[in-house]
Structure 1
């Protein structure tokens, strides 16, 4: 039972990391698009 708890916790941590990575990817792509749109205006 204790081992099961550890495994579940590892899975939760992995999901948190994936969510964070996805968020960072989205923010990065948005900031790149924003930069490109500013460059076009100048």
Structure 2
């Protein structure tokens, strides 16, 4: 998780910072699982 946070800064909306690294990590895991499922 911290590895992803180094490359993806939080999205600042007014006074709130939204951590996008968790969302990006979930999407990457989902894509990887789908790719592995298709290959196998």
Which has more strand, going by share of residues? 2
Structure 1, gaps ≥5 residues long: 1-8
Q: TM-score, normalised by structure 2?
A: 0.56
The structure where helix makes up a greater share of residues is: 1
Q: With a CA cutoff of 8 Å and minimum separation of 6, indicate the structure with the bigger relative contact order.
A: 2
TM-score (norm: length of structure 1): 0.54
| Structure 2 unaligned regions, length at least 5 | 1-14
Runs ≥4 residues deviating over 6 A:
none
Rg larger in 1 or in 2? 1
